[in-house]
Structure 1
């Protein structure tokens, strides 16, 4: 920052003698004067403010108008992890082909990041000024380029980018913390080693690497900023609204096809593993379609890796740890009769994604689930039953219609398994559950789109059929339903 002479009025008002000099491009956006510049992440944090409701607590700016939504900590944290992943890859590239230590490779694989990372420009407003108030210098500069000097009270008010700003702050704070303490923090840190058995201490290679990452963040990285000049309250609020409401979100199918940062999406596109047709979403709506859409393959693989539909991108290390498990699952599934054929859904219930989700969750529970359900022998029994056709996935198999029956009908139709256990000990559906229907005309079992309600119960049918461990969901469901009925009756009395 440059030092310039203060006036007596500045001294009387207690203003700082700090000034910021920026080199900027002079431009016009839809007829309004704008300046475009770049500055370091740290400098941007120091010279910018966010006019959300928290500004009311600010000592110097509590009377400023609000033109921002409240900060979403979850969104900011997600962006911080994205920024950290990009910085990590930049620091590795700066090694210029030198051997990358194993500890550093592990960091890269533990973070979900694609082959390239960047952030879009931020948009700010210089409040309470007009063009006459700004001190510029364009001597010896190309046309449309100028130097702009801002005093300590002339802050950049963030119109678009408050979550990126907060993410930058989180990353710098995280790097400062681990370098000061020499160890990874506990809890929900931006990064902690995925491997177990670590005490959190940084190895010498990690310490050197994180210092390099911090250097990249503070000394090499810069952000692009479009500065609007002197917008008043309704103008700034309008700009905020337009920038955040007029962009069209990407279709999930495009994200899944293009995003390389999610290792689960990547393995779902691996033709060595997924050897059947990956269908377009529009085609997948028709029962005579072939294969599965990518979004369903990704969901199935998320169940295999996490046991749930985790929202965040999954780092490579987590997929690598279960890669053999993923491969074995798909090897077994792709040997189900009719699966992968043309019009597969008309030939096998396994052609419906909800059935594969049921199988994936079953496999995960037996291999990695809660301790009371983990059972390697049970997993082997499941796969053996599929391969030997002890379990038939034909539409003619009556087991797959069991969800369309009430408890009494189900008990009468199926009774007990080979272990002498009643099917209703494993399976229960509330009256609100809409599982689907049996299409008697075509002889097809058609499950509904309420997959989250259906696939766990399909898994329960398979558990009962093979005598696998009971997860106890049926008993809990009946008890919950009983209490709800009693509550309704009491309210009506």
Structure 2
């Protein structure tokens, strides 16, 4: 911020009680280790593009990630939490190299980080990134991680381009298809990976025009997207006991 902007911000906060925009607050928080990881490893070292304002129209997407979305994805990736509040260096110790590996693999997904990325790939939608982040956390860092967790993370991150992240992939529309359509699209086996239909919200989004737009209830949606990716890459199902 320029000096006059800093003075205006000071005035607004202290005299008007204005709430600081989430992206702005995160930008200036250098005490949180996850924020430092984002700044030093992802932005400066990896060159990941970050934008401070939400993208209102997908046509205006320049490929950069909204900061608050980037923070939310890393909260899942490194902490298995919905936010980074109270994170300490010890909590992410030994995890940041895997974090860089994760974002390097994501960056290589076709269409990701490009102009109008959200129109080119569903991987540009934060809920899909959360699904991938949760898989890495479960395989690499969870207290219940499988014995071959490192191998599973390797298989996942080295095979992301084997997943069709295009908007036209019928897998994303699984819940909008009937049984005959699922069989015709080669999705019959997917049901064994997904939660039972009577156990929660299955409205993960809809295909609107040429685009698959996932819904706003991310906590309900990203575990299901993770199950779909597990199935596609022949990774262990959440429904099978850990070995």
TM range (shorter): 0.7 to 0.9
SS at match of 2:212: strand
Larger strand proportion of the pair? 1
Q: Say which is worse superposed, 338-347 or 462-471, in terms of deviation.
A: 462-471
The answer as to 2:33 corresponding to 1:260 is no
Equivalent position of 1:465 in the other structure: 232
**Higher RCO by CA contacts (8 Å cutoff, separation 6 or greater):** 2
> Which of residues 165, 183, 202 in structure 2 aligns to 1:393?
165
Give per-residue Cα distances to partners, 1:148-181, cap 9 Å, x unaligned. xxxxxxxxxxxxxxxxxxxxxxxxxxxxxxxxxx
- Show structure 1 runs of 4+ deviating over 3 A: 246-249, 403-416, 428-433
Contact residue 77 and residue 99 of structure 2 kept, 8 A = yes
> Which of residues 348, 358, 383 in structure 1 aligns to 2:157?
383
The whole-number CA distance in structure 2 between the counterparts of 1:324 and 1:260 is 20
Equivalent position of 1:319 in the other structure: 92
Q: What pairs up with 1:278-357 in 2 under 5 angstroms?
A: 278-282=50-54, 284-288=55-59, 289-290=61-62, 291-357=64-130
Contact residue 76 and residue 137 of structure 2 kept, 8 A = yes
Alignment length, in residue pairs? 218
The whole-number CA distance in structure 2 between the counterparts of 1:412 and 1:372 is 35
Contact residue 339 and residue 351 of structure 1 kept, 8 A = yes
SS at match of 1:437: strand
Instruction: Classify 1:322/1:278 alpha carbon distance in 2 versus 1 (closer, same or farther; 3 Å).
Output: same
The whole-number CA distance in structure 2 between the counterparts of 1:407 and 1:279 is 42
> Which of residues 142, 152, 161 in structure 2 aligns to 1:369?
142
SS at match of 1:312: coil
Larger helix proportion of the pair? 2
Q: What pairs up with 1:59-458 in 2 under 5 angstroms?
A: 247-270=17-40, 271-282=43-54, 284-288=55-59, 289-290=61-62, 291-371=64-144, 373=146, 375-386=149-160, 389-405=161-177, 410=182, 413-416=185-188, 422-428=189-195, 429=197, 432-439=201-208, 441=209, 443-458=210-225
Instruction: Classify 1:362/1:275 alpha carbon distance in 2 versus 1 (closer, same or farther; 3 Å).
Output: same
Give per-residue Cα distances to partners, 1:325-370, cap 9 Å, x unaligned. 1110011111111100011001111111111111111111111124
The whole-number CA distance in structure 1 between the counterparts of 2:229 and 2:66 is 25
- List gaps (5 residues or longer) in structure 1: 1-245, 417-421, 474-493
Give per-residue Cα distances to partners, 1:430-467, cap 9 Å, x unaligned. 5744311112x3x2111111111111110000111122
Q: CA deviation at 1:410?
A: 4.0
Tell me the TM-score normalized by structure 1: 0.41
Aligned-pair Cα RMSD in Å: 2.4
Give per-residue Cα distances to partners, 1:221-256, cap 9 Å, x unaligned. xxxxxxxxxxxxxxxxxxxxxxxxx84433322221
SS at match of 2:75: helix
SS at match of 2:216: coil
Tell me the TM-score normalized by structure 2: 0.79
